[in-house]
Chains A and B, each alone.
Chain A
Amino acid sequence: MMTGSPAADTFGVFGTTAVLLVTGPGLLPRAREIADTELAAVDRACNRFRPDSEITRLNAAEGAAVGISELFAELIDAALRAARLTDGDVDPTCGRALSGLGYDRDFAELRAAGNVPGQPASPAPGWRRVHLDRDRARARLGGGAQLDLGATAKAWAADRCCELIARRLGCGALVSLGGDIAVAGPVPEGGWRVRVTDDHAAGPDAPGQTVAISSGGLATSSTTVRAWESGGRRVHHIIDPATGGPADSCWRTVSVTAGSCVDANTASTAAIIRSAGAVGWLSGSGLPARLVRTDGTVQTTAGWPSDDGPAEAI
């Protein structure tokens, strides 16, 4: 347990806001250096809006095997693991479905474009179409699959940055990438205080609930923020691979804590897609979660502390 306030740095990355907290003010510049290096590498690997990224090259390969970096292999591996652990509900082959909804550019550009043309949805090819050979450092996409690692890459990067900072600098660290939060190392007094809310950019006093965590990760998935107009209807970025369209969920926001940020985000994304079935699944898995229905009422699972009251309607 550490005393004193952690030092904080806030900066933009992956089209969202990153927050870096460390339990030693003098360590912040070195922590930021570590984070910048890792995040730049992840961006080069799996930003599907970058023409020079590895994911763009793989998606354009039309089923041919492509040589990949160790980092990109790790990211694909994490996405396939998420798919396996959720029986395919969190599927990395939703790239074509997202592009079909107009999400083929940076989100800021998409939002600025207003109503974009949409294509009819069709089921995702499925994660088993992704062939990863780590020994030969190669990957291949079958069945016309197009990768999108949005459900796991940001959380995975938060875990990686946090672990590296804590280990190399010997301090406590929290890394938040757009609200996907990883913590590691010594914990500040009272734990790392996190405001759980609909929109991570809404600020520390936004409607929601404050909880404290001391290890692992906390992630929130929501249909409320990354949403836009496509073909004259409102759509969002959490794709149900069974239909290829935006998940039709009874939850607007789900927050989960787990042993890592990538596991928390895997569970929160799957919970949105599983809709009413999510509560039984999260409880049975022992995963503490806070689920907010579309009408703002809240349900919790597996030891998540009771809420102050219903979340505000939006």
Chain B
Amino acid sequence: MLRDDMRYAAARRDDGVRKISRLTWRAGAAGVICSAVIAVAFGHHAEARPAGPARPASGTIVIPAQPPAPAQGAGQVSSGAS
């Protein structure tokens, strides 16, 4: 009687493990499919942008890598209003 109970419990445990395993596998597969769908849906945007100059960061006015240095004499070019 006790042995039957143990066999029954072991069978239920094995059944539960199989169910969890199946669920885990299906969740993983769903994740892969979702990733693929997202990549297909949005991937064309990256391809559509022509190769051009780097776009400035959108969130702030970008400070220069270094401030202007003092220089002597005439400039090679002028910056003033036009």
Give the secondary structure class of A's interface.
mixed
Q: Which of the 9-residue segments B3-11, B13-21, B23-31, B60-68 touches chain A?
A: B60-68
Chain A residue at smallest Cβ distance from B74: A204
Chain B residue at smallest Cβ distance from A287: B63
Chain A residue at smallest Cβ distance from B53: A163
Given contacts A218-B68, A226-B82, A288-B67, contact A210 B77 (CB under 8 A): no
Q: Which of the 9-residue segments A57-65, A119-127, A242-250, A300-308 touches chain B?
A: A300-308
Binary B-proximity of A78-90 (CB < 8 A = 1, otherwise 0): 0001000100000
Binary A-proximity of B50-82 (CB < 8 A = 1, otherwise 0): 101110111011111111111111111111111
Give the complex CA separation of A199 and B80 in angstroms: 4
A contact residues around B54 at 8 Å (CB): 163
Please report the total number of B residues contacting A with Cβ < 8 Å: 31
What's the minimum C-beta distance from A15 to chain B, rounded to whole angstroms?
8
Contact B69 A211 (CB under 8 A): yes
Chain B residue at smallest Cβ distance from A224: B81
What's the minimum C-beta distance from B62 to chain A, rounded to whole angstroms?
3
Binary B-proximity of A143-184 (CB < 8 A = 1, otherwise 0): 000000000001000011011100100000010111111000
What's the minimum C-beta distance from A114 to chain B, rounded to whole angstroms?
21
Q: Can you spell out 13 A-B residue pairs with CB atoms less than 8 angstroms apart?
A: A6-B76, A8-B76, A19-B77, A70-B50, A195-B79, A211-B70, A213-B69, A215-B66, A216-B65, A259-B63, A260-B56, A263-B61, A304-B67
Give the top 8 A-B pairs by smallest Cβ distance, nearest first.
A178-B82, A259-B62, A195-B75, A222-B81, A163-B53, A303-B67, A211-B68, A225-B81
